[in-house]
């Protein structure tokens, strides 16, 4: 008797492929004719920690550069972080899978990984923004935020944006240091692939502070955008009363952006 044909594959976790992981998204993109119109992902998360070894080399100050490089892999060190469970205790498998993945395209790994999901989902352009650095706004040392912002922005412009026209960015603005923020716009505003600047929201700086006016004016003169990316700060006094990550995340993201948008001059 002829057996019905089917294709069968096991579910395995010792390999990971973004195109395979997003196969259903690719089918959707074809079915919905995404190729007929322009799609821009304006909030594409970059996992910059995967390239910290390269980024830290761009830190100008030799003391901070040494501290950053030697802190790699430790639970305490140069950069701050937050308690959190973004992967849902491993339920979102790509966070672990990325570590063992080999991108299809042989450019810089970050370019290859980004283009893989873009092509799978039918996205034409991606606007990258860092992810662990979302918490940099709460760093106790403002000079570290400024130094890390400059290093990351330089690395991104030189190693990523200069080499891939489909990837752009709104660069990290070190908002805790108004002068550093202004210098960031001056230095990077005209670089290839820079479409604007982004402030990470969980911070205690008033957007209506006069110290920022010249930065806003320069961004406007350059024809670039200014955006605010939400994040949570579980150490915030109000949010510290939350006993679950999902509560701190859901409320925190909204709270800081709401304050900044309400406080606009």
Distance of CA 61 to the CA centre of its chain: 24
CB burial of residue 106 (10 Å; 0-12, 13-18, 19+): exposed
Q: 160-186: string of b/e by CB count within 10 Å (b at 16+)?
A: bbeebeebbbbbbbbbbbbebbbebbe
Kindly write down the DSSP assignment for every residue of 209-226, as one continuous string.
-GGGHHHHHHHHHHT-EE
Nearer to other proteins, 97 or 189 (CB): 97
Nearer to other proteins (CB atom), residue 11 or residue 63: 11
Name the minimum Å distance from CB 26 to other proteins: 11
> Shortest Cβ distance from residue 45 to other proteins (Å)?
14
Inter-residue contact 173 to 149 (CB < 8 Å): yes
The total number of residues shown for the chain amounts to 265
CB of 86 or CB of 209, closer to other proteins: 86
User: How near is the Cβ of 12 to other proteins at its closest, in Å?
Assistant: 9
- Whole-angstrom Cα distance, residue 236 to residue 252? 9
7 vs 210, which CB is nearer to other proteins?
A: 7
Torsions phi, psi for 203 (to 5 deg): -150, 170
Smaller CB distance to other proteins: residue 5 or 237? 5
Nearest approach in angstroms of CB 51 to other proteins is 24
Least separation in angstroms between residue 105's CB and other proteins is 22
Residues forming contacts to other proteins in the complex (CB under 8 A) are 3-4, 6-11, 21, 23-25, 28, 88-94
**Least distance in angstroms from the C-beta of 132 to other proteins:** 20
Taking the least distance from each CB to other proteins, the nearer of 25 and 259 is 25
Structure tokens at 120: 């799978």
């Amino acid at each position: 008797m002829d057996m019905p044909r089917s294709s069968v594959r096991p579910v395995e976790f010792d390999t990971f492929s973004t195109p395979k992981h997003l196969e259903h998204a690719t089918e959707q993109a074809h079915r919905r004719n995404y190729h007929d119109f322009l799609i821009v992902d304006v909030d594409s998360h970059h996992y910059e920690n995967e390239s910290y070894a390269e980024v830290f080399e761009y830190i100008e100050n030799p003391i901070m550069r040494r501290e950053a490089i030697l802190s790699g892999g430790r639970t305490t060190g140069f950069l701050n972080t937050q308690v959190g469970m973004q992967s849902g205790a491993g339920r979102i498998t790509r966070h672990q899978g990325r570590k063992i993945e080999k991108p299809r395209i042989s450019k810089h790994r970050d370019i290859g990984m980004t283009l893989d999901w873009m092509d799978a989902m039918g996205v034409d352009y991606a606007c990258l923004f860092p992810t662990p650095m979302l918490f940099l706004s709460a760093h106790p040392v403002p000079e570290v935020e400024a130094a890390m912002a400059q290093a990351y922005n330089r690395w991104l412009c030189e190693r990523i944006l200069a080499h891939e026209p489909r990837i752009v960015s709104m660069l990290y603005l070190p908002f805790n240091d108004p002068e550093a923020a202004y210098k960031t716009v001056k230095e990077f505003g005209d670089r290839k692939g820079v479409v604007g600047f982004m402030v990470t929201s969980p911070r205690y700086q008033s957007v209506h502070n006069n110290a920022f006016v010249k930065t806003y004016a320069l961004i406007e003169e350059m024809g670039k955008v200014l955006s605010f990316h939400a994040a949570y700060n579980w150490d915030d006094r109000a949010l510290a009363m939350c006993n679950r990550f999902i509560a701190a995340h859901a409320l925190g993201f909204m709270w800081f952006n709401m304050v900044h948008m309400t406080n606009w001059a």
